[in-house]
Each structure stands twice: as C-alpha cells, then as structure tokens.
Amino acid sequence: MNEFFIAKRYLKAKHKIGFITILSAISWVGITIGVAALIIVISVFNGFGGLVKNLLISYDPHIIISTQQAENTEKRINSLLSENHEVKSISPILEAKGIANSGNNFNVVVIKGLNLPTLNSLGFIKQKNRIENDFKNNFADIFIGQILAAKMGLMEGDTISLIPIKTIKQSVVDFTSLPIVYKGIVKNIFTTNNKEYDENYIFTSLESAEIIFGGRFRINSFEIRLGNIESLNTIKSRLQKELGNEVKITTWYELHKNLYDVMQIERWSAFLLLTMIISVAVFNILSTLTMIVIEKKRDIGVLMAMGFNKNSIIRLFIYQGILVGTGGIFSGLLLGLLTCYLQIRYKFYSLDPTKYIIDALPVKVDLLDILSIVLATLFLASLASVYPAKKASEINIVESIKYE
Amino acid sequence: MSEILKCNSVNKTFLTGQNEELHILKNVSLSIKANKLTVIIGASGAGKSTFLHILGGLDKPDSGEVILLNQNLYELKNNELAKFRNKNIGFVFQFHHLLPEFTAEENVMIPLLISGKSKNEARKSSLELLKTVGLESRKNHKPAELSGGESQRVAVARSLACNPKIIFADEPTGNLDSENSKSLNQLFLQLKNEMDISFLIVTHNPELMNIGDEIIEMKDGEIIPIDAKQNSHGKENS
C-alpha cells in the first residue's frame, strides 16, 4: 500500500499551483452536494413508496387465488395454510355490484362479502363496531366507505337498502319479477385514504353476501392476508406448487404493478439525473489530478527510478482520486443523513393535513440505497482518475529527473 | 576481480527540434569491476549522463546491450526492470530529488516500501541509514528544512536503502559548495570501503577524480579509459 501512503500525503500537500487546491475543493463540495441530494431525494422516494405500500396492503388482500373449483380449492388452501403463523386470515370472496339506496339517494356500489374473522380484522376498520352476526332478521350488517357514507348522509347505525344488480336486470326482462331489496345496517364507516375504495365499497359478511347475491356458487376466488408482508413470495410459490396451474395466484404487488413500475422509473430517473451532478463534480477530480501529475512530474520520475512500475503509478493516482471522492462522499453522507434525520424527527418540511393524507414529506433511509450511492460515486471518482493516472504512468523517467 | 557491469556497442541517438539526428553515444563498450569507485568525466554534452541513465536502466539504448549483475537489462520487461532497479541499483542525482511532502526518514523508507518491506521494517532500516550518513537527528525534517548538503546525504541514504550492488551518481556534488562536496566525497569513499558496493559517478569535481579507482573520460559520445592514479593530477576539471 505504498501507493496509498503517498497518495494520502499528496492530498494534504500544499500545491505550488494554487489553482489545484481550489479545484480540489470544488470537486469536494460538488460531490458533497451531489451525494447529499441523492440521499435526500431517494429517501423521499422511499418514503412515498413506503406510504403507498402501507396504504395498499392495509386495504387490498395480499394474495388472491382465482379458481373454477372453489370448494376443493378452499379445503386445500385451508389445509396448507391453517398452521402458518405468517397468515392472518383466509376468506372466500363474494363480490358483485349492487345499488345502495337511502331516501332519494341511489349509488352503484361494489358489495364484497368476506368471512367474519377476515372482515373484523381488516386494518382500516374501527374495532369498536364489529360485525358479530351474519344475516339476521333480513338485515345485513355492513361496513361502508367514508365518501359513500357522506354522499348518502349516513351515520353508524343507519339503515340502507341494497339491491343486487342481477335482480334489477331480471325485472327489466321479466315484468312479473320485482327487484329484491335487502336491508343493511351501517356498523362501521371506514377510511382507506384511497378515493376509489372509500367511494364505492360496501363490506358485509360472506353469509349476507350469499343471500343478497343468491348463493355460494358465485364464489370463485379467495383472499389471504398476511401478518408479515415479507413472506409474500414464499407463500405464493408454495401455494402455486401445491395447487398447480388450475388456480391463478395474484399478489397485491402484481395488482398494482403498473403503479410500481412508474414509481421505479421515477426513482431511477432521479438517481441518474442526480448522479450527473456528481459526474460534473467528479470531472473536477480529473482536472485536479491532471494538474497534480504536471506538478509532480519529477517525483513520479524519481519514484519510477526507485522501482515504482507503471501500475503502481496508475494506482497512486487512482487512490488519490478515490481519496478526494471519499472525502466528498463522507461529507455528503453526513449532510444527507442529517437532513433526513431532521425531517423524520422534526418534520421541518410539513404538508397541510387537510389537503394531503400525511402531515410531512415522508422520508425513509434505505441502507442499500446509501451503499449504491457510495459505490456509484467511488466508481465515478476512480473512472475520472484513470486518464491522469495513465498519463502519469507514461512519463519519461530521464526527462522528468533532468531538472530541479 | 569480477566485473559487475558490462556494456557492448551501446548507441543512442536523439532527434533535435529541427528533426536532425544527434548521435550521443557511439558504439560505447565498457566493463566495470565490482567494489570500485569508477568516475566518468567529460565536457558538457559529451553524453555522460545519457550513458549513466542507460547503464542504470532508466533509458533504453537504440542498440547494444547492458549487462548488470549478469542480467541483460533491456531483455527485461518494464515491470521486471523496475523491480531490478529497486533491488540492485541506487541512484543519486545532481539535485537531491527528495519527495518534498515526506520527511528525511520517510524518503529513505520509500524504496524499502516499494520492495515490499513493512512500514516498521522500513522505518528501522531508514534510521540505520540516516545514522550512517550522520543525519539521524534530522529524521523528522522535510527536505525544505534541510540544507543542500544534508539533502544530498539523505539522497545517498535513500540510494542505499535496498542494499544495492551498485550506485549510479550523476553529478552528485554539482549543486554543492566545496565543503559539502568534500564531505560527500568522503562519504562515498567510506561507503565503498565499509559496504560491498560499487560506484559509478559522473562528475566535474576534481576531488572525486582523486578518490576514483578508475577514471573514464568521455568525448563526443565515445570513451577513453585512463588510469586514475597516473592521471588524477594532470586532469583538469572538464
């Protein structure tokens, strides 16, 4: 590591050409700003990503299994997963459109039936008003989205009418049959912060849904919710292996793949654009080192006379580039992480909670991102050092030691 | 006595700014015995320094061969030649050429570190060598804090670092006053006698000619060997 020993000393040296010190400082500051900006921006992307993920996994089922043979599949799913501690709930899904009516207010809604344990454990449901009973006395207990409830002027405990679309269709073609109206009691008004869900969805028990939609035969899918989302892929592949190809297994991630793809593209674009700031700063390393090579021409010749080979000279200058880069990376890390910490702790960049679902810009620092930023910067710094290092190794010994 | 260095028919030509060929070394052949202090003298532009650089493996001849310690230098690849220089050759230049960012001790350590020695080993040897040249007390001084004579002594200590078989010195006293020159000459003599080292020195210094075991004169790219003892008094500063 003689090269490193010398490179380190050269970094501290006072330069005869004062401009080298200025250039060196500019590259240092540039890398600091670039690295800090990258850390902050990527962490905000992570923050938003995490927020969206939390919103989605608290509402959506984590795994949906679609099948043509519901009864058989249900048994097999239960036998496969009943002992699995990562699984929070398993339920058949009975979902269809209907009309919700209260007074003069009619709304087309999606009525979704789930079994009671699943229904009552939904993350966005207030636990105080659970659905304890299935369809009773011709009344179905329901959960209703906040926006829908507001539109219909409903409060907890109110009653509404639910009309399945199928019976409306029948009455259109057959004048002797009238649409069947079921009664629903609002047990819970929920908020998912997702407009589509809060405006269109009504939840009820599986049994109530069966009665409203006229039978269990309509069930052709199941939903699974997990306690730990990290085990998603393991459980999915296990299910796929055991249940074979007659079932289609979709994860919550696959349901929102388009959204995630866009978010990934945005994240990568930000990464690349901000890396360009670092590239500009790193370009100064190239200028600095080129000038150092000119300044140290004689020393390079002397080192070569004493036995340094071309590769050692190349290493010496690449180390020096990396050292300047490392200084910038270190201060950039400090600045970036400090900013992230202050935002997480004191929320100094706050958002209006009446307009947004969060009160401050979300920030999530990811170790892997930090590592990628550090490695990318080190790579750029060493890349910038290659040209001056190569030039240094081509110095003619005799030419360089001739004069003082 | 065995020979340490031999060169056969060495030629070197440079191109001038006007694209004219300048024949610096003309078919030079030479043999140098081990453990001798050989001095090359000659007028400026006679090709002495170029010859020294070629003999020391710093510059390639256009033709001819240089055999040092039974090794044809220019058959070696660049990396092998660098290693060979580090292990077997020490250089002292007209200007001390110490690295300004490093202390006297660290400057002497560098060839040892290049050879693969650990920092501790290198530091130990470096201190011994500084003692040999009488500059132990200046070990923590940087070149800017040393006098010309002291710097050149540190440069000599550095050239001795890897225990070389031969030291090439190009006008080592060229930049020193007479007092310092004298003391450096004595140091060369002392080192030659105490350590098993050969010296090849290019100089204008008449005193170095006096202590030389063998004197070689170069003129217009050719050499004329002269017996040192006979000619030392007759030879004027070339």
Instruction: Tell me the C-alpha distance between A108 and A151, whole Å.
Output: 12
With CA atoms as reference, the chain A residue closest to B170 would be A402
* Predicted pLDDT of residue A84: 81
Contact A308 B114 (CB under 8 A): yes
Residue B237 has pLDDT above 50, yes or no: no
Of A298, A306, A310, the CB nearest to B111: A306
Task: Give the minimum alpha-carbon distance from B106 to chain A in angstroms, rounded to a whole number.
Answer: 10
Residue A138 has pLDDT above 80, yes or no: no
* Predicted pLDDT of residue B238: 38
Structure ipTM: 0.91
At B61-106, the pLDDT tens digits run: 999 999 999 999 999 999 999 999 999 999 999 899 999 999 999 9
- Residue B218 near residue B202 (C-beta atoms within 8 A): no
Task: Give the minimum alpha-carbon distance from A15 to chain B in angstroms, rounded to a whole number.
Answer: 10
- Residues contacting A336, CB < 8 A, separation 6+: A35, A36, A37, A38, A39, A40, A43
* Predicted pLDDT of residue B228: 45
H/E stretch holding B39 reads strand B37-42
A 253-312 near B (Cβ less than 8 A)? 298-299, 302-312
Residue B234 has pLDDT above 60, yes or no: no
- Residue A103 near residue A151 (C-beta atoms within 8 A): no
At B134-164, the pLDDT tens digits run: 999 999 999 999 999 999 999 999 999 999 9
pLDDT bucket at B175, cuts 50 / 70 / 90: confident
The per-residue DSSP string of B154-183 comes to: HHHHHHTTT--SEEEEESTTTTS-HHHHHH
A-chain residues within 8 Å CB-CB of B83?
307, 309
H/E stretch holding B92 reads strand B89-92
* Predicted pLDDT of residue B233: 44
CA A203 to centroid of chain Cα atoms: 28
A-chain residues within 8 Å CB-CB of B112?
none
Most confident region among A218-222, A228-232, A308-312 by mean pLDDT: A308-312
| Beta strand B37-42 pairing with A87-102 | unpaired
Contact B58 A307 (CB under 8 A): no
A-chain residues within 8 Å CB-CB of B95?
403-404
Residue A374 has pLDDT above 90, yes or no: yes
With CA atoms as reference, the chain B residue closest to A13 would be B101
User: Rounded to 10 degrees, what is the CA torsion of A17, A23, A29, A34?
Assistant: -160
* Predicted pLDDT of residue A227: 86
Residue A71 has pLDDT above 90, yes or no: no
At A257-274, the pLDDT tens digits run: 898 899 889 989 999 998
With CA atoms as reference, the chain A residue closest to B93 would be A401
With CA atoms as reference, the chain A residue closest to B51 would be A398
H/E stretch holding B225 reads strand B222-226
**3-class secondary structure per residue, chain A:** CHHHHHHHHHHHCCCCCHHHHHHHHHHHHHHHHHHHHHHHHHHHHHHHHHHHHHHHHHHCCCEEEECCCHHHHHHHHHHHHCCCCCEEEEEEEEEEEEEEEECCEEEEEEEEEECHHHHHCCCCCCCCCCCCCCCECCEEEEEEEHHHHHHHCCCCCCEEEEEEHHHHHHHHHCCCCCCCCEEEEEEEEECCCCHHHHHHEEEEEHHHHHHHHCCHHHCCEEEEEECCHHHHHHHHHHHHHHHHHHCEEEEHHHHCHHHHHHHHHHHHHHHHHHHHHHHHHHHHHHHHHHHHHHHCHHHHHHHHHCCCCHHHHHHHHHHHHHHHHHHHHHHHHHHHHHHHHHHHHHCCCECCCCCCCCCECCCCCCHHHHHHHHHHHHHHHHHHHHHHHHHHHCCCHHHHHCCC
Give residue A275's identity as a one-letter amino acid code: T
* Predicted pLDDT of residue A355: 79
Task: Give the minimum alpha-carbon distance from A294 to chain B in angstroms, rounded to a whole number.
Answer: 15
With CA atoms as reference, the chain A residue closest to B56 would be A305
Of A9, A304, A311, the CB nearest to B102: A9
* Predicted pLDDT of residue A69: 81
B-chain residues within 8 Å CB-CB of A305?
56, 58, 85, 91
Residue B225 has pLDDT above 70, yes or no: no
A 303-362 near B (Cβ less than 8 A)? 303-312
**Is A12 an interface residue toward B (CB < 8 Å)?**
yes
* Predicted pLDDT of residue A216: 67
- Residues contacting A86, CB < 8 A, separation 6+: A226, A227, A228, A231, A235
Closest C-alpha to B111, from B82, B136, B139, B133 = B82
Q: What percent of chain B has pLDDT over 90?
A: 62
B-chain residues within 8 Å CB-CB of A302?
93, 97, 99
Contact A398 B59 (CB under 8 A): yes
* Predicted pLDDT of residue A134: 67
pLDDT bucket at A88, cuts 50 / 70 / 90: confident
B-chain residues within 8 Å CB-CB of A303?
99, 110, 114
Residue B127 has pLDDT above 50, yes or no: yes
Contact B83 A304 (CB under 8 A): no
At A375-396, the pLDDT tens digits run: 999 999 999 999 999 999 999 9
* Predicted pLDDT of residue B229: 44
Question: Residue ranges per domain, chain A?
Answer: 2-56+259-401, 61-253
Q: What percent of chain B has pLDDT over 70?
A: 94
